[in-house]
Structure 1
């Protein structure tokens, strides 16, 4: 039996369907779905993993944060533990029957490691198992058939590079996270995470915010005039001095301006707008971010489009199409469907010459569409991203766009004013790829020495602006430039910063906790907060992949680097604790108490519930409620009515909830409760059955088995009949109904 292992369930299913002469047979093995084709003699079984089916961890003895010092993790043993027991069990069962295995996981560092992990499990039950590897960049019939026709070997050097990353990230992350969290007194779910890539990325965000904090705006003034032609066309002209720093100077010029402008010169020229290069992972992230996608969604959606056979492999550095791709054939796929007119125009060209980016690799091509998707096959977000990939692909074969530009100068009372215009005269590649295109800026028809009436003169007071925060796309680009993370991990790093409540919003804004963590690291462990260290380790991992150095050498060097860092951390533990706790306290301040002018803080009761309380307690009892779950982020937006900071609640896997001003929220809640009382004769109708006094989990299950799962169903039920099926007394049931009806 020939066993084929794919990285995901859907990939295994699609590959089996492509290779099968007829529909593959679905067979469950130890609770795992597999796909069979062929007879007993030449049977092929396809099984999908769930990404990594094992994980690295420390032995249980190291789990107690209070008893085991963080530094002990630096040289602790790293063990492998199963994360997908059913899949591991299925692999062992299939491995005993197999005569050959083909690793068909994604072809990159992570995919090679996932395949090697599965192979290691198989060899525990079948040490002499024959194995090979296939590489593909799209899950299409041609790509899969070509891959199986040209098998290669498992690249254990590449797998070692992936494994070294896991070990280094575990050891650095676990030890530093434990040290910083214990120092700050933040344990349990609220721990402060530190990471080899995460922390220097966070430092970038905090450093930009510090630049904004110290930025002192400078006033300046702009002088403009509104002109009108003989044909009553109006347009604005601006003084040649773009920014006046002296208010008296601009006022004196304004005072001397007459009511007529003369066209002193007109210059017309043509500007060439070159077509874009093919998408690699970073460029796709940047482009998708500019049209509203988060980098986490881009990663998730492109993975789905790839696995379903619509686009090529989405994790690539390449920006040059390889010669092996029949590019004309790829465009011909779109001769029908919504992109027909674009495909036909490209196919009418005698020669298709795509643009070339600066990065060329041999593992995967740039990201391009590999099959025609129907809009009905995808949800709205998937289609939007798929269309972006299709249009970018077309644009790389198109001609440059041409713009006609006009620069006009005007004389107003011997003061020079300017105006410029531009219009797209040859759409070129922008006809295919319309995203973020500059708009035409049209000027009326003008000639030198034309006289124009001035209908308005205006001075606008403005201020210089601080440097902008990083948007997700821009941050991904900077991470790539600095060697922080890889094309496969950068989106996850940004997602982690959000989930740990280190940042909020987009562009990314750091919390005060972030300030404290970054400041502590920069002051006492600067290596972890700077990109040079992680960039060096990334280069070392590349050298492992290329077979230049052994994995063990890199792991030992990273442990020595980390151990040295702990010398400074432990020596300055008290200062670190003070710094962190001051930052954490600042992140809990909501505003000023309207009753006593003390600080309003996020607090916890003796029972552990959260609330906003007054720092002046017990003299002041002012308090506001907070949601039971989720991490609380205090934003810098304040309520105009109450002066309190707005709050955002973050729950893993859910969209952030902007609660807003806690006082406004509470008042709105009270208003809703009063309205519900009016509508229910003074009673507040509970939302869930378990909200009714006397109904716990067991009783709710009894009611559910009787077909009662909502409050309305309980109100409408016949208490006598319901009593027979639930063994609950009629008196008790009627009591609940009376209480809520």
Structure 2
């Protein structure tokens, strides 16, 4: 029997439909297997094997975090039914083709299956099918041109698993135990995650410490039949008096002393690598994790090529005309026809060229009815980018003018799109056209108006997710397959909220403590060095065990600093963690209001003056409470956001306003008869017990969703 092993069940089904004539599905130990004659296709569920520490290391209180550095991890089956099915099928197989995704992670998943099958049937022959799209031509070509498994590539993936396990577990345990944050509220620290968080926190520090400086700009509006505005050539004035002095001596006539207009090409964007794709998706409102999730779905369903790639150069083997021609008669028909009219394609290209996968491009013609709304937006983005990379440059006419008014120079500019080129296909981020009329040197213009605008310098902007992914790539943090996951983990761990991500006080505390007492953890240097080592493993230049040992040595040096400064780290963490629970001042006694937990595990907002002061406010039972830096104008309390897993965060707002709104609705319901036949349905309010034995009348008060 020829056994084909893919990474997921959906991929197994699609590959079976492409390769087999008559597909029959059967169950082996509850796992779907697709058969025809002497061929069977089975899908895994990603990693079916995991590594973890032995059970004796599970007790956080009894095992020193430092002991984990040299602890020997053990292999465990995470999908026992799939493992059992593989073993049964292995006994009947004479040939096995591994057809998992072709990258470091996919190769490791394939080698995991290889080891299980080889153990059950040592005589079986293996080969590897590599493909970049789940289409009939691509799959048939891959299976007609199989190659050996790349054990070096898999070893690089396994090295990452081992290193990340040790670093994450040892550092997370140390920080969590140091400040007493155990159970579900543990503080996560990681080899990639923490340097990433430090980038966000350090940027926020720059924003918070920024002191705006006033400046003034001088503008004049001219008219020669058409009006336009020009700014003083001095750009900005640090002193208002200087701008006012110039304004006071300006006359009502200006003379054109310089006028230029020239063509300026705007070259097409480069093809989509994973990083470039995430950046573009962020520009239309998608988080990094959501963009990659949708792209993965489009890939496995045969609409786009493999979305995890560093490549920004189309391979010569890719038939670009054929790829465009498939859109004739579909949603993109007029664009495909227009593109084909230009004849030979000269695609744009980026700096990175790899041989594993092409840049992300569409491999099949979808219609809106084939996809969900978000899937269509991402698919449309991929198609538009692909078309744009094959189109000629856009042509702009750029105009500039200098006008003299009583010895003072004013400058104006304008631009007009005269030939759309690639902009016809890719409207995202389209610059605004600015009109400047045709002028002549020596021409006199009427000064219709002059004004001074007072402005303030602006703080640095927060890093968006697309920008963070690009920074991670430049700094060597993570890989194309893991960078979006690292960002998502920061949200899951309550280190950041909002988009662009805003660090919580907990994030400030963790990064602050580590930057002060164990700085290497927060810098990208060690992580990027290990990433480079893992690339060398994949190329066969260095052994996996050598890199793992190197990482362990790095971690030992870090723990020397951590152990020495544990008390100081604890103090910094305590202060920061308290800040993340602080809501404001109690209206009854003036002491701090904090997010608290009851003995039964519920939570509420309680006064620090308890038991002398019993003021409390309710909180929702579910979700993570994020205390924002925005305060209620009426009560002075911090506004609260509730983050609940993968659901969309919602703003509870001021907890006092929320409670008062509930009281008001409750009172109205008691005095107003309810006509059930005519009253519109009301969405049930979210409830939250005050979760305190002293709750009194607040007990059970709902939280109103704003």
Find the residue that maps to 2:366 and give its secondary structure: coil
The aligned residue for residue 56 of structure 2 is 61
2:223 maps to 1:228: yes
Partner of 1:306: 299
Residue 494 in structure 1 maps to residue 494 in structure 2: no
The question of 1:13 aligning with 2:8 is answered: no
Give me the whole-angstrom Cα distance separating, in 2, the residues matched to 1:310 and 1:176.
Answer: 41
Matched with 1:289 is: 282
After superposition, give the CA deviation of every residue in 1:550-592 in whole Å (9 maximum; x if it has no partner). 1111111111211221121111111111111111011111122
Change (3 A) 1:87 1:425: same
**Structure 1 position 219 matched with structure 2 position 219:** no
CA–CA separation in structure 1 for the residues paired with 2:564 and 2:83: 45
Give how far 1:687 is off: 8.9
Q: In 2, Cα distance between the equivalents of 1:63 and 1:508?
A: 33
Question: Partner residue of 1:641?
Answer: 634
Segment of structure 1 superposing worse, 651-660 or 567-576: 651-660
The Cα of 1:61 is off from its aligned counterpart by 1.1
SS at match of 2:70: coil
1:85 CA drift (Å): 2.0
- How far apart in 1 are the matches of 2:49 and 2:190? 21
Shift of residue 8, structure 1, vs aligned partner? 0.8
Give secondary structure in 2 for the equivalent of 1:335: coil
How big is each residue's C-alpha offset from its partner over 1:194-245, in whole Å with a ceiling of 9 and x where there is no partner? 000000111111111111222221111111123333x3x4332211111100
Q: Give the direction of change, closer, same or farther, for the CA distance of 1:678–1:156 in structure 2 (3 Å limit).
A: farther
Would you say the 8 A contact 1:499–1:651 is kept in 2? Answer: no
Question: How many Å separate the matches in 1 of 2:555 and 2:675?
Answer: 64
Matching residue of 1:36: 35
SS in 1 for 2:327: helix
Give the whole-Å Cα distance in 1 for the aligned partners of 2:666 and 2:30. Answer: 48
Q: Distance in 1 between matches of 2:585 and 2:675?
A: 35
Partner of 1:94: 89
Asked whether 1:146 is paired with 2:145, we answer no
> 1:361, 1:118 → 2: CA distance?
27
Partner of 1:190: 185
Change in Cα spacing, 1:403 to 1:117, as seen in structure 2 (3 Å) is same
Q: Does structure 2 retain, via aligned residues, the 8 Å contact 1:592–1:599?
A: yes
CA displacement 1:511-569 (0-9 Å, x = unmatched): 11111111221222222111010001011111111111111111111112112211211
The 5 A counterparts of 1:657-668 are 657-668=650-661
SS at match of 2:162: helix
Report how far residue 411 of structure 1 moved.
2.3
**CA-CA distance at 1:680 after TM superposition:** 6.2
Give the 5 Å matches for 1:296-375: 296-375=289-368
Matches within 5 A, 1:555-634: 555-634=548-627
State the TM-score, normalizing by the size of structure 1: 0.89
> Any gaps of 5 or more consecutive residues in structure 1?
692-741
- 1:328-355 Cα shifts (integer Å, max 9, x gaps): 1111111121211221122223311111
Q: CA deviation at 1:667?
A: 2.0
- Output the CA distance in 2 between the equivalents of 1:282 and 1:636: 31
Q: Deviations over 1:367-396 (max 9, x none)?
A: 111111111010111111111111111111
- What is the deviation of 1:32? 1.2
Task: Indicate which of 371, 374, 389 corresponds to 1:378.
Answer: 371
Please show how residues 171-190 of structure 1 align to structure 2 within 5 Å. 171-190=166-185
**What SS does the corresponding residue of 2:147 show, helix, strand or coil?**
coil
- TM-superposition CA deviations, 1:615-672 (whole Å, max 9, x none): 2333333221111122211111222222222111122222222212212222222333
* Separation of aligned partners in 2, 1:674 and 1:60: 56
User: Are 1:116 and 2:132 counterparts?
Assistant: no
Distance 2:400 2:223 in 1: 17
Cα 1:686–1:86 change in 2 (3 A) is farther
SS at match of 2:453: strand
User: Superposed, which structure 2 residues align to 1:132-171 within 5 Å?
Assistant: 132-171=127-166
SS at match of 1:635: strand
1:459–1:60 Cα change, 3 Å: same
Q: What do residues 684-728 of structure 1 show as CA deviations (whole Å, max 9, x unaligned)?
A: x9999xx9xxxxxxxxxxxxxxxxxxxxxxxxxxxxxxxxxxxxx
SS class of match (2:621): coil
> Structure 1: how far apart are the matches of 2:72 and 2:668?
61
Number of corresponding residues: 682
Deviation of 1:600 (Å):
1.8
1:179 is paired with a residue of what secondary structure?
helix
- Paired position in structure 2 for 1:737: none
Instruction: Give the aligned partner of residue 731 of structure 1.
Output: none
For residues 374-421 of structure 1, what are the alpha-carbon distances to aligned partners after superposition, in whole Å with 9 as ceiling and x for unaligned? 110101111111111111111111111111111112223332112111
Unaligned runs of 5+ residues in structure 2 are 688-706
Q: CA deviation at 1:678?
A: 4.7
- Match of residue 514, structure 1, among 503, 507, 514: 507
**Displacement after TM superposition at 1:77 (Å):** 1.6
CA change 1:350–1:187 in 2 (3 A) is: same
Please give the alpha-carbon distance, in whole angstroms, between the structure 1 residues aligned to 2:482 and 2:310.
13
Q: Deviations along 1:285-318, whole A, 9 cap, x unmatched?
A: 1111111111011110110011011111100001
CA distance in 2, matches of 1:613, 1:257: 64
Paired position in structure 2 for 1:407: 400
Between the aligned partners of 1:220 and 1:687, the Cα distance in structure 2 is: 50
Show the counterpart of 2:99.
104
Q: Which of 63, 67, 90 is 1:72 aligned to? A: 67
SS in 1 for 2:390: coil
Q: 1:62 Cα deviation (Å)? A: 0.8
| Aligned-residue CA RMSD (Å) | 1.9
CA shift in 2, pair 1:654/1:446, >3 Å? same
Q: Does 1:45 align with 2:40?
A: yes
Distance of 2:20 and 2:669 partners within structure 1: 61
Distance 1:302 1:336 in 2: 24
SS at match of 1:103: strand
1:681 offset after TM fit, Å?
6.1
Which of 474, 485, 488 is the aligned partner of 1:481?
Answer: 474
What does residue 712 of structure 1 align with?
A: none
Q: Could you tell me how far apart the structure 1 residues matched to 2:221 and 2:591 are?
A: 52
Q: State the 1:358 CA deviation.
A: 0.5
Say whether 1:442 aligns with 2:435: yes
Distance 2:631 2:660 in 1: 16
Q: What is the rounded CA distance, in whole Å, between the counterparts of 1:197 and 1:6 in structure 2?
A: 29
User: CA 1:586 to 1:222, structure 2 compared with 1: closer, same or farther past 3 Å?
Assistant: same
Compared CA separation, residues 416 and 565, structure 1 to 2 (3 A): same
Q: Which residue of 2 aligns with 1:673?
A: 666
Q: 1:49 to 1:586 in 2, by over 3 A?
A: same
Shifted more, 353-362 versus 587-596: the winner is: 587-596
Q: Give the drift of 1:453.
A: 3.6
* Structure 2 residue matching 1:601: 3-state secondary structure: strand
Q: 1:514 to 1:93 in 2, by over 3 A?
A: same
Q: Secondary structure at the match of 2:309?
A: coil
Structure 1 Cα separation of the partners of residues 640 and 77 of structure 2: 39
Q: Among 448, 457, 463, which residue is 1:464 paired with?
A: 457
CA distance in structure 1 between the aligned counterparts of 2:660 and 2:236, rounded to whole angstroms:
47
Q: Distance in 2 between matches of 1:253 and 1:659?
A: 51
1:37/1:44 contact within 8 Å kept? yes
1:428-467: CA deviations, max 9, x gaps?
A: 1111111101011012343334444434322121111111
SS at match of 1:440: coil
Say which SS state the counterpart of residue 345 (structure 2) adopts: coil
